């Protein structure tokens, strides 16, 4: 009778080439007068102003209903500056189009592009962000890279006044897990839940108590426990792990800091009356917050209806009563975008160039209307940290979430070469939660040398995203069964280490965990070498497992 080995989790899914994403995926983005939507299937729709090619459809014609961005598939995140657009692909590359006077497209030139071109020199990117004329990229190793306009030091490489036409590394940053950009400043969230910033600081948006610009990132000393952040034209927002929201920067005219005043703040202050906050987003002079009950609360400038209700504007946040079940928000110059938990997209605010995507740009919309775009991908888990260590020959993985919506589980995947991953374990998610949740998984039998791990977060509806990749080094060879040649045809050679002289069972399993064959072998203390006849196996991927009752080791092999 065939049996299932529960530690082997659907390798077949991986072999079918399911798309890669990341836990900080930005499903929507709003530029000055244009909007971007990541659609189910990994394509991108765009609408609005297109004078510089920022819609990426090959033309320079405004679009009042969403059109598909040319040549892009496998997209997991988008970002938008004033007149440029960024796209993150599942293979870790970044693509860009639109305005490029300051090098914000990162191709080494000042030439604008009306269809996406690849940003030079970047790989393993897991998150992207766009300021007005600069672009920021987060690598899977926790480092940050940036290009574009640098008058105020917003690139973060220690210089000012020198535009970067190609991405350069941001100085002194490691362990970064999320990005935020304002008009002329940059924000970074570290895996210890601290917030860092650099760039223009004329109104206190960097949060250090001064109005002095900074060309290298520094920690905002008064903030801790941060799980989300965002930057507006000249203000910054932060969400803490206790569900409160904080803000700093420009507030004089519109009250976008949400503290009930029109006073600029040079250090972060709490947003009045808000609790249970999961996410934040900014428009140019307005702020938006998503609560754990799916409601949206907004404050600041409302001259075009971007707050989602008819009001002259407000210095304290009010609920957008016509929306519910909201997971993600984004803000442009004077318009706002919302994604519902169904994947439906709603927009409001200024619509003179078609940026709301509802096909009727005749007037501004103070009440959110549904955009004419296909459903967006929903990846609503906020991964705060992910780390690992080797202890006693085992690799221990630990991670933390700041909030979860519809989180079914995490699948732990491992690789020996950072390219070919296989599932090695499953940890159930919390479903829906706010506040920190801690998780761990122990890999009992890691590869010798360097092991690479990533988390595949799976929603109840089957949507999924990938975390950044981490590495753990181990010299322990005891729990690995090595197989060769790769691929194998008639005979499979294998070797493994045993602590004792006992009888073991050598098991061959298919990719679904079904037992194909079992062979008893006598082992001796130390390294054991043998061969296995595999002529009768069909071509494909299999697992070879050794179990002597006290030790187990496992590896993958391919029958050619």
Do 166 and 40 fall within a single domain?
yes
Residue 306 clears pLDDT 90, i.e. is over it: yes
CA angle 1, 515, 557 (to 5 degrees): 165
Helix (H) or strand (E) holding 13: helix 11-15
Q: Is residue 395 part of a domain?
A: yes
Q: Give CA–CA dist 224/277, Å, rounded.
A: 16
Neighbours of 438 (CB within 10 A): 10
**380-391: per-residue pLDDT in tens?**
576 778 899 998
Evaluate if pTM is beyond 0.75: no
The DSSP bridge partners found for residue 197 are 187, 218
Number of independent structural domains in the chain: 3
Average pLDDT, the chain: 87
pLDDT band at 14 (very low <50, low <70, confident <90, very high): very low
Strand partners, 430: none
For 501-524, how does the pLDDT look when each residue is reduced to its tens digit (9 = 90+)? 888 899 998 877 789 899 898 888
Q: Is 469 found in the same domain as 366?
A: no
User: Hey, which residues does 553 pair with through a beta bridge?
Assistant: 546
Element (H, E) at 386: strand 382-391
- Distance, in Å, from the CA atom of 283 to the CA atom of 338, rounded to the nearest integer, reads 12
Q: What angle do CA 4, 9, 15 make, to 5 degrees?
A: 115
Task: Tell me what pLDDT residue 423 has.
Answer: 87
Tell me if 247 sits within 8 A of 254, measured CB to CB.
no
Interior CA angle at 334 toward 36 and 74, to 5°? 10
User: Which stretch of DSSP H or E encloses residue 12?
Assistant: helix 11-15
Count of alpha carbons within 13 angstroms of residue 274, beta-carbon side? 38
Does 22 have pLDDT greater than 60? no
On whether residue 521 sits in a domain, the answer given is yes
Per-residue confidence (pLDDT) for residue 536, from 0 to 100: 87
DSSP-H helix ranges across 248-318: none
Residue 150 lies in a domain: yes
Q: Are 353 and 362 in contact (CB under 8 A)?
A: no
Query: What is the rounded CA–CA span in Å between residue 283 and residue 303?
Result: 12
* Residue 445: domain span: 382-412+424-474
Q: State how far the Cα of 65 lies from the Cα of 355, in Å rounded to an integer.
A: 8
In a domain, residue 522? The reply is yes
Task: Select from 109, 101, 194 the least CA-distant residue to 149.
Answer: 101
Whether residue 404 sits in one domain with residue 515: no
Clarify whether residues 356 and 434 are in a common domain. Answer: no
Residues 235, 309: one domain?
Answer: yes
Evaluate whether residue 31 is within a structural domain: yes
Say if residue 364 is in the same domain as residue 397.
no
User: Do residues 196 and 179 touch, judged by C-beta distance below 8 A?
Assistant: no
3-state SS, residue 141: coil
Do 442 and 514 lie in one domain? The reply is no
Token pair for 491: 């005979």
Tell me: pLDDT of 552 over 80. Answer: no
Retrieve residue 327's tokens.
């997971």
Nearest to 518 by CA among 489, 547, 560: 547
Residue 446 lies in a domain: yes
CA distance 492 to 508: 11
On whether both 429 and 458 belong to a single domain, the answer is: yes
Percent of residues, the chain, with pLDDT higher than 90: 57
Same domain, 355 and 431: no
Q: What is the CATH number of the domain that holds 126?
A: 2.130.10.30
| Among 348, 319, 314, CA closest to 331 | 348
Rounded CA separation 47/39 (Å): 13
Q: Is the dihedral of CA 365, 369, 373, 379 positive or negative?
A: positive
Lowest mean pLDDT segment, chosen from 97-111, 296-310, 384-398: 384-398
What pLDDT, in 10s, does the model give residues 201-260? 999 999 999 999 999 999 999 999 998 999 999 999 999 989 999 999 999 999 999 999
Cβ-proximal residues to 520 (8 Å cutoff; 6+ apart), any chain: 503, 504, 505, 506
Indicate the burial class of 16 (C-beta count within 10 angstroms; 0-12, 13-18, 19 or more): exposed
CATH number at residue 458: 2.60.40
Tell whether 125 and 215 lie within a shared domain.
yes
Q: What percentage of the chain reaches a pLDDT higher than 70?
A: 91
Do 163 and 273 lie in a common domain?
yes
* DSSP at 376: B
Confidence of residue 15 (pLDDT cuts 50, 70, 90): very low
Query: First vs last Cα of the chain: how many Å apart?
Result: 26
Strands (E), 221-308: 226-231, 235-240, 245-249, 265-270, 277-282, 286-291, 296-300
230 shares its domain with 320: yes
Residue 549: is its pLDDT beyond 80?
Answer: no
Q: What is the pLDDT of residues 29-46, one digit of tens each?
A: 999 999 999 987 789 999
Q: Which residue has the higher pLDDT, 197 or 499?
A: 197
Nearest to 148 by CA among 137, 139, 394, 138: 137
Bridge partners of residue 480, in order along the sequence: none
Q: Show the CA angle centred on residue 378, arms to residues 72 and 115, nearest 5°.
A: 15
Span 360-419, pLDDT tens digits = 877 899 999 999 876 776 555 767 788 999 988 889 999 988 667 778 899 999 887 777
Asked if 286 contacts 300 with a C-beta cutoff of 8 angstroms, the reply is yes
Mean pLDDT to the nearest integer, 448-472: 81
């Amino acid at each position: 009778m065939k049996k299932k080995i529960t530690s082997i989790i659907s390798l077949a899914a991986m072999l079918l080439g399911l798309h890669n994403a990341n836990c900080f995926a930005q499903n929507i983005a709003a530029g000055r007068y244009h909007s971007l939507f990541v659609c189910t299937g990994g394509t991108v729709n765009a609408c609005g102003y297109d004078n510089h090619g920022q819609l990426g459809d090959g033309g320079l014609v405004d679009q009042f209903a969403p059109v598909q961005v040319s040549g892009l598939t496998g997209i997991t995140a988008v970002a938008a500056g004033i007149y440029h657009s960024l796209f993150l692909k599942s293979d870790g590359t970044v693509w860009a189009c639109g305005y490029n006077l300051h090098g914000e497209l990162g191709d080494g030139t000042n030439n604008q592009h009306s269809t996406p071109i690849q940003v030079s020199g970047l790989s393993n990117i897991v998150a992207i962000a766009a300021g007005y004329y600069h672009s920021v990229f987060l690598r899977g190793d926790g480092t940050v890279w940036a290009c574009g306009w640098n008058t105020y030091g917003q690139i973060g490489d220690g210089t000012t006044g020198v535009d970067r036409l190609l991405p350069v590394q941001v100085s002194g940053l490691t362990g970064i897990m999320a990005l935020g950009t304002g008009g002329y400043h940059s924000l970074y969230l570290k895996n210890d839940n601290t917030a860092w910033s650099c760039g223009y600081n004329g109104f206190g948006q960097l949060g250090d108590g001064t109005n002095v610009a900074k060309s290298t990132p520094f920690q905002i000393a008064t903030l801790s426990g941060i799980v989300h952040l965002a930057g507006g034209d000249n203000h910054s927002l932060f969400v803490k792990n206790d569900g409160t929201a904080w803000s700093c920067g420009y507030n004089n005219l519109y009250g976008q800091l949400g503290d009930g005043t029109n006073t600029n703040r040079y250090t972060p202050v709490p947003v009045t009356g808000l609790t249970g906050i999961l996410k934040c987003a900014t428009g140019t002079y307005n702020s938006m917050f998503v609560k754990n009950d799916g409601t949206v609360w907004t404050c600041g400038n409302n001259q075009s209806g971007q707050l989602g209700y008819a009001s002259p504007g407000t210095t304290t946040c009010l609920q957008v009563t016509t929306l519910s079940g909201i997971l993600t928000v984004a803000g442009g110059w004077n318009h706002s975008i919302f994604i519902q938990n169904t994947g439906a997209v709603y927009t409001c605010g200024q619509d003179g160039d078609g940026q709301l995507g509802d096909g009727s740009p005749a007037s501004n919309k103070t009440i959110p209307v549904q955009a004419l775009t296909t459903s967006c991908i929903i990846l609503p888990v906020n991964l705060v940290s992910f780390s690992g260590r080797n202890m006693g020959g085992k690799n221990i993985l630990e991670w933390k979430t700041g909030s979860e919506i519809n989180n079914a589980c995490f699948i732990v995947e491992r690789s020996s070469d950072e390219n070919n991953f296989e599932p090695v374990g499953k940890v159930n998610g919390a479903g829906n939660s706010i506040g920190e949740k801690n998780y761990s998984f122990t890999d009992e039998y890691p590869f010798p040398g360097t092991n690479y791990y990533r988390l595949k977060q799976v929603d109840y509806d089957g949507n999924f995203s990938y975390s950044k990749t981490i590495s753990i080094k181990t010299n322990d060879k005891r729990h690995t069964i090595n197989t060769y040649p790769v691929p194998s045809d008639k005979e499979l050679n294998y070797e493994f280490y045993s602590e004792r002289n006992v009888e073991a069972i050598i098991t061959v399993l298919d990719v679904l965990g079904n037992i194909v064959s079992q062979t008893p072998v006598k082992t001796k203390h130390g390294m054991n070498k043998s061969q296995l006849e595999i002529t009768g196996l069909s071509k494909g991927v299999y697992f070879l497992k050794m179990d002597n009752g006290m030790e187990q080791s496992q590896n993958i092999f391919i029958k050619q």
